[in-house]
Amino acid sequence: MIRQDAIMSTQVSNQAGTGSTSTGKALIVVVIALAIGTFFYFDLGQFLSLTALKENRDSLLAFTDANFTVAVGIFILTYVAVAGLSLPGAVILTLAGGFLFGGLLATLFINIGATTGATLAFLTARYLLRDTVEQKFSKWLGPFQEGFAKNAFSYLLTLRLIPLFPFFVVNLVSGLTRVNLGTYVVATAIGIIPGSFVYAYAGRQLGTINSLREIASPNVIGAFVLLGLLALVPVVYKRFSAKSVS
């Protein structure tokens, strides 16, 4: 009798835990949907365009000079929101950061905001989706999860360095893997430095920029690709070493 009561209490507690988890996930989905819906409903993206940035550069610069600490806080929080919710406008924010704070300081502030936002997106994807995805596609994901876990830092660093891979896609897909949170944060923080600096530095010449294509030239993208390939060198070395030993 005691054993049956224990089993029943365990089942009830498991059901309660499942229910609270489902409620928590539902609340997160609602909050994210409301935030994204607000962004597009009020057309807030119009403020994150190259035209808007150039038209308001004098007022933005004046506000930053008069309220530097507040401007830094607003900039970082905005970057966290854009990166965390996978909203468009990160490139414009990076240019704005370079124009307002200079290349080096902007790179630091961008790194804090982008890494924090990317980590939130990563944790959200992991909390909401990973268990479901693993249950439905465990047969296909098994080898991928194992390989990615062994070389997670090099893979993530490559994905961050090469701008051909959308930032938000890497955030969400990484959350579905078993990569360690610390590895993800460090690889992200290091990997976004080159691209952040290039765009932030370009922001200093905001008045001469008429199109984002002027910044993302083939030479610049080629340099990022080479950096990304260099990050894969340890992975290639491990594989060749393993083959030679066997």
What percentage of the chain carries pLDDT values higher than 70? 72
pLDDT for the residue numbered 132: 80
Q: What is the mean pLDDT of residues 223-238?
A: 59
Identify the DSSP state of 67: S
CB 170 within 8 A of CB 156: yes
Q: How many CB atoms are closer than 10 A to CB 191?
A: 24
pTM comes to 0.81
The arithmetic mean of pLDDT across residues 197-226, rounded, is 70
Q: How does residue 237 score in pLDDT terms, banded at 50, 70 and 90?
A: very low
31, two tokens: 């909050």
Distance of alpha carbon 232 from alpha carbon 225, whole angstroms:
11
The answer to whether the beta carbons of residues 106 and 98 sit under 8 Å apart is yes
What are 106-164's pLDDT values in tens digits?
999 999 999 999 999 999 999 998 888 777 766 666 666 776 777 889 889 888 988 77
Q: Could you tell me which residue, 21 or 68, shows the higher pLDDT?
A: 68
For residues 151 and 235, the answer to whether their CB atoms sit within 8 Å is yes
Looking at the predicted structure, is the pLDDT value of residue 28 above 60? yes
* CA-wise closest residue to 54 among 83, 110, 92, 81: 92
**How far is Cα of residue 210 from the mean position of the Cα atoms in its chain?**
27
Dihedral angle of Cα 14, 16, 21, 25, to the nearest 10 degrees: 140
Question: Do 119 and 188 form a contact (C-beta atoms < 8 A)?
Answer: yes
Is it the case that residue 101 has pLDDT exceeding 80? Answer: yes
Question: What whole-number distance in Å separates Cα of residue 36 and Cα of residue 245?
Answer: 52
DSSP secondary structure letter of residue 44: G
pLDDT of residue 6: 47
